[in-house]
Structure formats: C-alpha cells, structure tokens
Amino acid sequence: MSDVKVHTIGIIMNGVTGRMGTNQHLLRSICAIIKQGGVKISESEIIMPDPILVGRNGVKLQQLARRAGVTRWTTNLDEAMDDKHNIIYFDAQTTDRRVEAVKQAIKARKHIYCEKPTAVSTREAYELYTLAKKAGVKNGVVQDKLWLPGLMKLKELIHRGFFGKILSVRGEFGYWVFEGDTIPLQRPSWNYRKEDGGGMIVDMLCHWRYVLDNVFGGVQAISCRGAKHIATRYDEQGKPYTCTADDAAYATFELEGDILAHFNSSWCTRVRRDDLLTIQVDGTLGSAVAGLRDVVIQPYGATPRATWNPDVPQPVNFFEGWQKLPEQREYDNAFKVQWEMFLRHVVKNEPFRWSLLEGAKGVQLAEKGLESWAKRAWVKIPELKK
C-alpha cells in the first residue's frame, strides 16, 4: 500500500446543509467516494477527497460533520479560501448567493464546481465562465440527470439507431407539493418566492437545456408559458406567505435536426405516470419512454394499429405493447459519477466538457423562457461564445 500514490484534495463545500447538498453531494458522493477508498486512477494511484464544510450555522455544520464523519468545518469562508490545501470550491448555496462566492473562489485560484443555476442572469453566469477561463482554473457545473440510468439508456438507443429519425421529445416532470398548512411541505419555501431566487422556470429549464443539448440536439428556440397556480403557501415555521414565483412551466423547444421537444414542469400536478420524470421519444423506427431508471420501448414492427372510435370500448391495451429494457450494466449515483469525473479532470487533466459555459447556457434558457412568457412569443437562443 505504501507504493500507492494518493492525491489528497481539499474541497470547500459551501451550503451543503441544504437537502440536495447534504444527501446528493456530501453523503452520496464525497462520503461515498471516501468510503470506497477514493477515485481509483490505477492500481498505484488514487484521488482522495478531504472536504471542509462551510456555512452560516455552526450548530448545523457540526451536526452534519458528525453525521458524515467529516472532521473539518467552519463558518469562516475566508479562512477556508486562504488554506492552500483546499484546491476545489464547491457551491450548493441558494442561487442568489452563488455569484459572489464563486468570484471569491476564482480570485483565490480555486478550481470551481457548483450547482445550477450558476447565477440569476445570463450576464452574471457568463461572467463567471470568462473569469474562470481568464484565471486558468478548472471549472464545472452539476449536470446530474445525464448520468441517470434512464437517460443513459436513451443515449444508448440513439447511438444504436433504434429510433431512426427522431421526430419529437416529450417530458413530464413534477408532483404535488403540499402547501404546508395541514400537511408538511416537501420543498423549501424559498422555491416559491421570486425575490429569493425561486421559480419553476429558473429551477428546471437549466436542467432541460443540458438534457436536450447533450442527448437530442442543441436548443435553438423556445416558447414558454409559466404559471403561478397556488397563491398562498406556508413556510417552515407554519406562517402563510404570498407566492411570487411561478410553480409550473409549459415549454416547447426547437432543436437541431428539426426535432420538436415539449416539457411540462409542475409542482401542482398529481402523478399518473411511471416516474416523477418521464421522457417519451418518438422516431420513425420506434419509440421509447424513459423514467429515472427504467426505459420501455416499442419498435415499428410491434406498433399496434390504432383507430379512433369513441362509440365502443377501446379494444387495445396500449400498455401491453411495450418492452422493458434489461439491465445490461450497473449504474452508480448520478451526482457521484460526475464528481469522480471532475476530480479526475482536476488531478489528471482528463476531459470534462460541462464547464461554467454550460451553466451559463442553462441560465440563458431560463431567461429566454421568462422573456417568451412576457412577450407571448417564440424566442431564439443565441450562441454563447467559448
């Protein structure tokens, strides 16, 4: 074991006391990597994360550190930045706090990895990319859904030519988020306040940008309609507040290759589908429906001949004509997979294409979605230069 070279990497993890930061980034990614013995480069070389938890509440940090088995935590971000052992800065704060902290980290010459949206405006998000590029620091943004088993299976089908020419993509996402008066809410109350960075369009269109760009084709234009379906919700203390942010978004996209895509995203819908996210892809040779993990397919030759006759009971059970794809490989946690790739990028300079530029593209699509809603019109998506 003494012949093994260990790259111990100090990682500033800011804002991980929140639900996503705790569960997906700390416990299921960084702590899981530590428990597995690091990121294995070869039989004689590994990368070992050494996180320091940063936040504003010392009590929460201490409790989380104890739970995660992490020894380092602080409420002093400057102190963590000044420590040369810490070479990566990770940000999982609320969006409105992200830009200032990431700029500080770039100035301190830390490599940057952060959640999305990377900023509240395209201008600020693109500025983060240009600052990181000028400083020469490696940078990346979380694009977790690309490594979900369902999305990876879809990409494999596309690679094998299963669909023929892809005609359309339809996504359904969301579930009912309780208002919080009698049944506890499942999402933070700030999600429904625009002044705190909330809103479905801002939250989810950055996801659909990287999913569409990386799996189906670059987004070229958008038509989007947001909605504020529920006017009053209750915060974590049980106090009522007025919802100022959209809680649903209905968006249509024009993609490269003459593909049309449509995504419904809502916190005000009850689920009657296979998963919280389903994506149907229709092509000339076949169709598929992907959830977070499973995919079912229907090739051309197994497509039933449907006819429209509302005067008689439907003779075809349309669910029976689909085949579930078998599990042909093992899939790790999507967040953990990308964390390992970014660590390899920092230490071994391996390729990592999901830079802060990709984060800016996500913010841009959300911004253009809001513009489309305001104008009640299609809006083109201009290219952001590298």
Domains contained in the chain, CATH given:
5-144+334-354 (3.40.50.720), 145-331+364-379 (3.30.360.10)
Q: End-to-end CA distance of the chain, in Å?
A: 43
pLDDT at 2: 65
pLDDT for position 94: 86
The answer to whether the beta carbons of residues 222 and 255 sit under 8 Å apart is: no
Question: In the chain, pLDDT over 90 holds for what percent of residues?
Answer: 96
Enter the pTM of the model.
Answer: 0.93
Residue 38 confidence class, pLDDT cut points 50, 70, 90? very high
For residue 154 the two structure tokens come to 């879809």
| Amino acid code (one letter) for 312 | V
Is the pLDDT reported for residue 171 higher than 70? yes
pLDDT one-digit tens code per residue, 178-229: 999 999 999 999 999 999 889 999 999 999 999 999 999 999 999 999 999 9
Orientation angle between helical segments 356-375 and 122-135, nearest 10 degrees: 170
pLDDT at 133: 97
**Radius of gyration for the chain, computed over Cα atoms and rounded to the nearest angstrom:** 22
Check residue 339 and give its pLDDT: 98
